[in-house]
């Protein structure tokens, strides 16, 4: 996690710095909308979170956040929103200017405003510098007592997430056992940050002429899910305000806004519903799709979800006519063209996929994910001319997507198809280094370096790989 902060050397040696990083990881719950954020993060700390990358979903989230960031005085390019494949309703801030949002929040939201309200709350944490200030609060407290407190907090969070009142109460017992003024002050501070983020969200929504109704609706849904579990929990050992108190206060303040009854534009609602359909199709499976979108439902989102479910199980014959129908209705939607290309590509029809992906690129020429999909389609045609075009696209994609193993693997294939073996070897070495395969990285980098003239950019890159892989 990137939330670790630099600190004084003196007597605060390695253990305390590692402890600070660990505490900051647990404190994801403090900077989230709900109580289950800590459990979701700490359970996955060792293997990393299940990230979802998708051009359409990320494009919609940028549309949601751009006016909020502007109202908060934050550069939209400085904040990244990540999507986690987690069915629970949650979002949180970590690592400074990074917002994480669960697929569960998107899928269980009724309107775009629901999600926008939550993103406004998380933006309040960023604008308030809460993560950095939390680290200062930790530094000023007694580590032993704070660790005991956070272990209890994590146990309560686990009980809430699992719907187990006994576990939640056991966590409260852990906290009572290590009770101290430092704990109480720390949690009071955390609740204050939550209240501050709520207030900031109301301000940002008002500034962008949007209602806070959606944010309150999500908080109500969370409260109804956890009301039985939280009934016997001491409010003074919680990192968030008590749900119903929080909702009452927010609603009272939000109703003062002239935009309380503001509605989402129909076009935005459709985009939101299409993203929900896409998520259901890709991560829900055929059964979930048919339950939510039966064949009698001929809406655009329903057909979108069914087409995805069909091609994912190999039924491209029935999926393609549905996708073509969607394209006919909204020909300027780049994501329908992208879906058609993906369906064809994943079913071994790369030459056909190159046509719709080219149209998607025309509509979204600077999108790195679509550039990578197009490059893959071109490479899979196994034509040198297409491979050259793929190399151009992959180099462009690296400007927005960064240096990833996938782009380097595709570059290696493209260079090989054009007969440029040294660059293919270099790209393979760079991919291997990013994947942690030092042996392969060294082998390929040395082979590539021998083919390049000393001092050229390629020679220097190969030298860098050799240097890093040899450490």
Per-residue confidence (pLDDT) for residue 120, from 0 to 100: 96
Say which DSSP state 32 is in.
B
Q: Which of 120, 74, 101, 109 is nearest to 212 (CA)?
A: 120
Number of Cβ within 10 Å of residue 146's Cβ equals: 21
Q: Which two tokens stand for residue 440?
A: 């392969």
Q: Where are the domains of the chain?
A: 14-254
The pTM (predicted TM-score) of the whole model is 0.79
At residue 171, does pLDDT exceed 60?
A: no
**Across 294-303, average pLDDT:** 97
* CA angle, residues 28, 401, 316, in degrees to nearest 5: 100
Number of residues assigned to the chain: 471
Q: Tell how far CA 189 is from the center of its chain.
A: 27
- Residue pLDDT, tens place only, 362-385: 999 999 999 999 999 999 999 999
Whether 375 contacts 397, CB under 8 Å = yes
Q: Tell how far CA 156 is from the center of its chain.
A: 25
Q: Is 343 helix (H, G, I), strand (E, B) or coil?
A: helix
pLDDT band at 20 (very low <50, low <70, confident <90, very high): very low
Q: Which of 97, 114, 95, 91 is nearest to 40 (CA)?
A: 91
- Residue pLDDT, tens place only, 118-135: 999 999 989 887 665 555
367-389: b or e for each residue (b if 16 or more CB lie within 10 Å)? Answer: bbbbbbbbbbbbbbbebeebbeb
- Report which of residues 1 and 276 the model is more confident about: 276
Q: What is the DSSP string of 60-78?
A: HHHHHHHHHHHHHT--GGG
**Spatial distance between the Cα atoms of 460 and 82, rounded to a whole number of angstroms:** 33
**Spatial distance between the Cα atoms of 68 and 122, rounded to a whole number of angstroms:** 10
- Residue pLDDT, tens place only, 176-207: 544 454 455 544 546 667 888 899 999 999 99
């Amino acid at each position: 996690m990137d939330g670790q902060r630099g600190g004084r050397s003196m007597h605060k040696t390695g253990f305390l710095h590692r402890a600070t990083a660990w505490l900051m990881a647990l404190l994801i719950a403090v900077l989230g909308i709900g109580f289950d954020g800590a459990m979701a993060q700490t359970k996955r700390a060792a293997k990393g979170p299940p990230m979802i990358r998708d051009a359409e979903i990320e494009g919609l989230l940028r549309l949601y956040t751009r006016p909020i960031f502007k109202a908060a005085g934050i550069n939209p390019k400085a904040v990244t929103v990540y999507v986690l494949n987690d069915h629970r309703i949650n979002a949180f801030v970590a690592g400074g200017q990074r917002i994480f949002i669960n697929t569960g929040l998107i899928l269980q939201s009724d309107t775009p405003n629901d999600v926008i309200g939550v993103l406004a709350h998380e933006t309040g944490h960023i604008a308030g510098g809460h993560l950095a200030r939390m680290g200062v609060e930790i530094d000023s407290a007694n580590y032993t007592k704070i660790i005991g407190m956070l272990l209890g907090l994590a146990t309560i969070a686990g009980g809430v997430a699992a719907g187990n009142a006994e576990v939640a109460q056991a966590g409260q017992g852990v906290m009572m056992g290590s009770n101290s003024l430092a704990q109480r002050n720390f949690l009071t501070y955390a609740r204050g940050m939550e209240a501050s983020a709520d207030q900031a969200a109301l301000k940002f929504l008002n500034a962008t002429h949007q209602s806070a109704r959606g944010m309150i609706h999500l908080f109500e849904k969370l409260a109804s899910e956890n009301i039985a579990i939280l009934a016997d929990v001491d409010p003074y050992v919680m990192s968030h305000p008590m749900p119903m108190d929080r909702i009452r206060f927010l609603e009272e303040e939000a109703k003062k806004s002239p935009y309380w009854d503001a509605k989402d534009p129909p076009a935005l609602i459709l985009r939101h519903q299409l993203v929900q359909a896409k998520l259901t199709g890709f991560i829900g499976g055929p059964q979930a799709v048919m339950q939510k979108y039966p064949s009698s439902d001929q809406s655009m989102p329903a057909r979108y979800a069914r087409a995805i479910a069909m091609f994912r199980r190999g039924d491209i014959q029935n999926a393609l006519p549905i996708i073509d129908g969607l394209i006919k209705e909204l020909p300027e939607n780049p994501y329908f063209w992208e879906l058609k290309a993906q369906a064809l590509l994943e079913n071994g029809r790369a030459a056909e996929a190159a046509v719709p992906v080219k149209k998607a690129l025309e509509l979204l020429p600077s999108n790195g994910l679509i550039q990578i999909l197009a490059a893959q389609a071109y490479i899979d045609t196994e034509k040198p001319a297409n491979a050259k075009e793929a190399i151009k696209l992959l180099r462009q994609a690296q400007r927005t997507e960064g240096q990833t193993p996938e782009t380097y693997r595709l570059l290696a294939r493209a260079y090989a198809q054009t007969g440029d073996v040294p660059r293919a070897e270099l790209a393979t070495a760079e991919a291997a280094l990013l994947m942690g395969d030092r042996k392969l990285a060294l082998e390929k980098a040395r082979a590539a370096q021998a083919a390049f003239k000393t001092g050229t950019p390629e020679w220097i890159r190969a030298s860098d790989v050799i240097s890093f892989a040899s450490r």
